[in-house]
Homo-oligomer: A and B are copies of this chain.
Amino acid sequence: MMGAKERREREREQRKSHILDVARELLLGKGMNATSINQIAKRSELSVGAIYFYFKDKEELFAALQLEGLELLHSAVRQAVAKKSTPEKKIRSIAMAYLRFSEDHKSYFDIITYFLTSPETIFPPNLKNVIDEHGNASISMLAAAIREGIDAGKFKQVDPRRQAIILWGAFNGVIQLKKLEKTILGKDEYRSLYAEALDRFLDGLRKHPQN
């Protein structure tokens, strides 16, 4: 049989994915700079060289992590929007999916915002493009829902894409507040803040808000 090659291929993917698992865990625990290839190697029970066999670079490795996350997010958003009828419901559903994503796939979410916010590590252009494209996909779904609302006469005449980006940014900002739990915020308070932020923005978006 000639399944040998395919098996190799599969094993390769599995190892790669295993390495990514370990890397993700470490990255989130200690940040990118404090996460060393040495540690990744040790934890994945591979030699350092093996890591470099699968990933040309530390950079490439972490970029792969980010891509994984963005893909996962995109599919979550796609599902969220799927069976919803009205634009507002779609937006709410996406928003809640995003919150859930940030909790269920905390690791991936953190990676995304990690790279979004950290001033260090700017990926080389080609990588950056791929990454941005992936991010774009999710934003576009949000924009589509907003456009629908505008077309239906429910929302103000705003630029749907810009509005989507604003919304996404605001969401991120509120979710980040989670880090302030135990100091200025109570436990899980950020969730209700998130919900309220969503309300406020929808209120602001609607044409005739029903006080």
Contact = CB atoms under 8 A, between A and B. Distances in A.
Interface in A173-211: 173-174, 176-177, 179-180, 183-185, 192-193, 196-197, 199-205, 207-209, 211
Interface in A93-134: 110, 113-114, 116-121, 128-129, 132
Nearest to A189: B162
A136 interface: yes
A204 B207 contact: no
Number of copies: 4
Interface of A: 28-34, 110, 113-114, 116-121, 128-129, 132, 135-136, 139, 156, 158, 162-163, 165-166, 168-174, 176-177, 179-180, 183-185, 192-193, 196-197, 199-205, 207-209, 211
B132 A180 contact: yes
Given A117-B179, A174-B173, A196 B30 contact: no
Contact of A118 (B118, B136, B199, B207): B118
Contact of A166 (B136, B156, B193): B193
Contact of A184 (B34, B132, B172, B185): B132
Contacts of A139: 184
15 contacts: A30-B119, A31-B33, A31-B120, A33-B120, A117-B176, A117-B179, A128-B183, A132-B183, A163-B200, A165-B185, A166-B197, A169-B174, A170-B170, A203-B204, A207-B211
